[in-house]
């Protein structure tokens, strides 16, 4: 059980923050195919050097046994203990535009209290828009752009960028609950679900992180260079291409995914569904496939990176 205590602490050295900034949310956890969100968190912290404003309390929110912190061992002694971090921070994009970012692990406990606190911060800072991202594995080819499903209150984003709009029920994440509560509070909020190739879902797929950053750009106007991610993605795709071209079975699989993807995106009434589960009558059956996938995930498999 988590300890009782304050949910968060305010940074004593926090700078003044202008009102009306966009808020970006990146929480690692239950669904992070291609390590998309984990890579975004690393990019923000390493490349943008955000200044923490609010630091959430691990002993209240975190199950250490599910996501163990990292500690280093140097021959004869322990060094460099690195506990996970969940922070609301002040940052600037590649053009110097300011924004707020809530990044780190998805809380294991106290979701209602955590959500209420974030909603209060959105009001306190006069946040203009809220954008969050996560990623799920889908039977789509890596040779096509990563698609998104968009939810929230910003209907213009949903209309323009949501390639798949299912009717389904899925296990919720803290991000889902935040979106739901923010929408109830009248905030301008958008959630982007990245549809990542299922056969790359357990890897660190740089294109997934780039797609997440692009989604944030679409929703906020913020600009992120991500040059290191782009270089990594070029090398990554070369290796994947070599593996696929060297295997007749993999080549057939990718070609089949390409055919279904292209037919689905073309909107043909004769299209084979993007997800193949036999002789499905239409792409509406994607919802059932997603639900079955999520229902079979072990509950303990959650944020292996731990930060």
- Assess whether pLDDT exceeds 60 at residue 222: yes
Q: pLDDT for 137-179, tens place per residue?
A: 999 999 999 999 999 999 999 999 988 888 888 889 999 999 9
* Strand arrangement, sheet containing 8-10: 8-10, 51-56, 86-92, 98-105, 23-28, 130-138, 189-197, 147-152
Between 292 and 32, the higher pLDDT residue: 32
Please report, rounded to a whole number, the percentage of residues in the chain having pLDDT higher than 70.
86
- So what's the pLDDT on residue 4? 73
In percent, the amount of the chain with pLDDT more than 90 equals 71
Which residue carries 């306190």 as its tokens? 124
For residue 250, the model assigns a pLDDT of 87
Domain boundaries, the chain: 8-295
Q: Tens of pLDDT along 56-91?
A: 999 999 999 988 999 999 999 999 999 999 999 999
For the stretch 271-296, pLDDT in tens is 344 443 333 223 334 334 444 444 44
DSSP symbol at 32: B
Q: Which residue has the higher pLDDT, 133 or 265?
A: 133
Q: Can you point out the beta strands (E) in 85-176?
A: 86-92, 98-105, 130-138, 147-152
Mean pLDDT, the chain, rounded, equals 87
293 is written with which tokens? 């996938």
Both structure tokens of 102: 């809530």
For the cut 80, the answer to whether the pLDDT of residue 207 exceeds it is yes
Run of H or E including 216 = helix 206-220
Give residue 26's region: left, alpha or beta (phi > 0; psi -120 to 50).
Answer: beta
CATH 3.50.50.60 fits 8-295, yes or no: no
């Amino acid at each position: 059980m988590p300890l009782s205590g304050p949910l968060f602490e305010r940074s004593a050295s926090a700078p003044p923050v202008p009102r009306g900034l966009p808020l970006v949310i990146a929480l690692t956890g239950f669904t992070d195919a291609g390590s998309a969100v984990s890579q975004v968190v690393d990019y923000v912290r390493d490349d943008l050097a955000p200044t923490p404003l609010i630091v959430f309390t691990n002993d209240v929110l975190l199950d250490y046994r599910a996501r163990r912190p990292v500690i280093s061992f140097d021959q004869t002694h322990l060094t460099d203990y690195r506990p996970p971090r969940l922070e609301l921070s002040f940052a600037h994009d590649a053009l110097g535009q300011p924004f707020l970012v809530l990044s780190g692990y998805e809380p294991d406990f106290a979701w209602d209290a955590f959500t209420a606190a974030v909603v209060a911060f959105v009001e306190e800072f006069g946040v203009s828009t809220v954008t969050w991202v996560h990623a799920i594995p889908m039977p789509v080819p890596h040779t096509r752009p990563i698609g998104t499903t968009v939810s929230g209150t910003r209907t213009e984003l949903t209309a323009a960028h949501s390639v798949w709009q299912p009717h389904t029920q899925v296990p919720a994440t803290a991000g889902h609950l935040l979106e739901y509560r923010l929408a109830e509070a009248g905030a301008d909020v958008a959630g982007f679900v990245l549809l990542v190739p299922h056969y790359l879902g357990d890897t660190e797929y740089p294109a997934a992180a780039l797609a997440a950053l692009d989604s944030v750009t679409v929703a906020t106007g913020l600009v992120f260079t991500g040059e290191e991610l782009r270089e990594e993605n070029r090398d990554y795709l070369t290796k994947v291409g070599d593996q696929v071209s060297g295997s007749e079975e993999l080549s057939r699989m990718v070609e089949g995914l390409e055919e279904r993807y292209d037919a689905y995106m073309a909107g043909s009434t004769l299209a084979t569904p993007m997800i193949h589960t036999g002789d499905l009558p239409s792409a509406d059956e994607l919802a059932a496939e997603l639900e079955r996938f999520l229902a079979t995930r072990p509950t303990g498999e959650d944020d292996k990176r731990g930060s």
